């Protein structure tokens, strides 16, 4: 039997609830596919702050590094919102991404036929949307230096950050973008602000030069303001979107809301070597935490991405995806995706239904 070690970071808010369900799905799929999973649960985010004083304890990072894949629930909550930067749950997440060197963040935004009514977009605009945002995750303005709050030469107080990309950072994420598009509909749209920013002009030049390695993929470029519009106007025009860290943060959230069901959307963060990081794109939803109301499907689908992108277990991944679709076909819905005529269930029951359908 194959064996994999999985680091599990339940995190905060609804994280532990959705993780518990997703772990059961992973166990079942393992027993059915002859794969053995070893699990190690570690603290991270606000709960790690409360327990250890830091949002990403060294033990958590080193356990994660030594495992085959990392599954994260969600982090953050009102309680820690006013903490200084180095004591914010979010800082722990950035340290984890940096520590695991997961520079490529894949965020699918798909409108499932069963859930097309959840979108605030008109049915004819929303139906059939199936795009993937490939976001650079360990560079750009998130990590660039110099950064801080200080004083300028006129003695005025200033806040500043640096948007910076080196050629190797752009080249490697561009290749992930092209590879991803190649496995999809072979259309890659690189999003930047090259009419204003030098960092974007450089980005565009590098992406264009990498394109010669992928003659079968059609490359286009779009300004970020236009991309934010086009996602609302006609999201179906997009197949794969390639962009930097901050634009990817904004556009992937916009794209996910266009599907109307962000409780359904997983993500994968991958590096060149070492384990990937898999997490739902939704937050920790502190307002419904502990009430068995959370939608576990995004975390379950993150398990599918973990199997596919993290471990290369495509069969097992597909079984989970199909089980989720079957469960939706049977009419089970958590509150966030509920519509009349369906069966309202909680987090646990949704998990049990998925288990039945695997």
- Give the x/- contact pattern for its own copies in 253-272, rule: CB under 8 A: xx-xxx---x----------
Asked if 198 touches ligand IPM (CB under 6 A), the answer is: no
Q: Between residues 19 and 35, which has the closer beta carbon with respect to ligand IPM? A: 19
Please say if 142 is a catalytic residue.
Answer: yes
- For position 249 contacting ligand IPM by CB under 6 A, the verdict is yes
Using CA of residue 82, residue 86, residue 88, residue 94, what is the dihedral sign? positive
Given the residues 130, 253, 292, 326, select the one marked as catalytic.
Answer: 253
Q: Which of 225, 287, 329, 356 is catalytic?
A: 225
- Does the protein bind its own copies through residue 156 (CB under 8 A)? yes
Q: Pick the catalytic residue: 23, 88, 192, 193?
A: 193
How is residue 27 written in tokens?
């166990």
Q: Contact 348/292 with Cβ under 8 angstroms?
A: yes
Nearest by Cα to 278 from 3, 56, 67, 52: 67
As measured in angstroms, the least distance from the Cβ of 270 to ligand IPM is 14
Residue carrying the six token digits 């904004």: 250
Query: Which residue's CB is nearer to ligand IPM, number 118 or number 138?
Result: 138
| Residue 176 C-beta: closest distance to its own copies, Å | 19
Of residues 201, 133, 214, the one with CA closest to residue 170: 201
Return d(Cα 124, Cα 120) in angstroms, integer: 11
**Residues 87 and 55: beta-carbon distance below 8 Å:** yes
Q: Is 196 in the site for ligand IPM (CB under 6 A)?
A: yes
Helix, strand or coil for residue 271?
Answer: coil
| Span from 147-155, 269-277, 321-329, 332-340 in contact with its own copies (CB under 8 A) | 147-155
Q: Show the tokens assigned to 228.
A: 């934010």
- Should residue 85 be labelled a site residue for ligand IPM when binding is judged by CB under 6 A? no
Of residues 249, 308, 309, 336, which has the active-site annotation? Answer: 249
CA dihedral 54, 56, 58, 61 (to 10 degrees): 180
Angle at alpha carbon of residue 37, lines to 276 and 180, rounded to 5°: 30
CB atoms within 10 A of CB 207: 22
State in angstroms the smallest separation of the CB of 344 from ligand IPM: 29
The window from 43-51, 86-94, 111-119, 327-335 that contacts ligand IPM (CB under 6 A) reads 86-94
Nearer to its own copies, 249 or 353 (CB): 249
Compose the 210-239 pattern: x for residues touching ligand IPM by CB under 6 A, - for all others: ---------------x--------------
| 86: number of Cβ within 10 Å | 10
Residue with the two structure tokens 């603290």: 43
Q: Is residue 182 left, alpha or beta, with left meaning phi > 0 and alpha meaning psi from -120 to 50? A: alpha
225 an active-site residue? Answer: yes
Q: Which of 4, 12, 68, 142 is catalytic?
A: 142
Instruction: Please report whether residue 211 would count as binding its own copies according to CB under 8 A.
Output: no
Residue from 54, 87, 211, 250 binding its own copies (CB under 8 A): 250
Q: Are 164 and 274 in contact (CB under 8 A)?
A: no
Q: Which is nearer to its own copies, 69 or 199 (CB)?
A: 199
The reply to whether 249 belongs to the active site is yes
Answer whether 259's CB lies under 8 Å from 312's CB. Answer: no
- Catalytic (active-site) positions: 142, 193, 225, 249, 253
User: Site residues (CB under 6 A) for ligand IPM?
Assistant: 90, 93-94, 195-196, 225, 249
């Amino acid at each position: 039997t194959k064996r994999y070690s999985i680091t599990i970071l339940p995190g905060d808010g609804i994280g532990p609830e959705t993780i518990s369900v997703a772990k059961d799905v992973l166990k079942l799929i393992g027993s059915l596919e002859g794969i053995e999973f070893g699990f190690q649960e570690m603290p991270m985010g606000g709960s790690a702050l409360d327990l250890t004083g830091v949002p990403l304890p060294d033990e958590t990072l080193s356990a994660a590094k030594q495992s085959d894949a990392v599954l994260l629930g969600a982090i953050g909550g009102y309680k820690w919102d006013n903490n200084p930067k180095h004591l914010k749950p979010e800082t722990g997440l950035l340290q984890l991404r940096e520590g695991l060197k997961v520079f490529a963040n894949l965020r699918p935004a798909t409108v499932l036929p069963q859930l097309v009514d959840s979108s605030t977009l008109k049915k004819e605009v929303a139906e059939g949307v199936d795009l993937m945002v490939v976001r650079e995750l360990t560079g750009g303005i998130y990590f660039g230096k110099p950064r801080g709050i200080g004083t300028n030469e006129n003695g005025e107080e200033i806040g500043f950050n640096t948007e910076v990309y080196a050629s190797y950072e752009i080249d490697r994420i561009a290749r992930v973008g092209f590879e991803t598009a190649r496995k999809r509909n072979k259309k890659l749209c690189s999003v930047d602000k090259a009419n204003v920013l030098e960092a974007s002009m450089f980005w565009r030049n590098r992406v264009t030069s990498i394109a010669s390695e992928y003659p079968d993929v059609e490359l286009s470029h779009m300004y970020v303001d236009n991309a934010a519009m086009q996602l609302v106007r006609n999201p179906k025009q997009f197949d794969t979107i390639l962009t930097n860290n901050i634009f990817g943060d904004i556009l992937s959230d916009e794209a996910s809301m266009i599907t109307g069901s962000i409780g359904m959307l997983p993500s994968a963060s991958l590096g060149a070597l070492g384990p990937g990081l898999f997490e739902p794109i939704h937050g920790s939803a502190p307002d419904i935490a502990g009430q068995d109301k959370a939608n576990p499907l995004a975390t379950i689908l993150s398990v599918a991405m973990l199997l596919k992108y993290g471990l290369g277990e495509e069969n097992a991944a597909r079984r989970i995806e199909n089980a989720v679709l079957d469960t939706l076909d049977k009419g089970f819905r958590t509150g966030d995706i509920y519509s009349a005529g369906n069966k309202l269930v909680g987090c646990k029951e949704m998990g049990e239904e998925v288990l039945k359908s695997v």
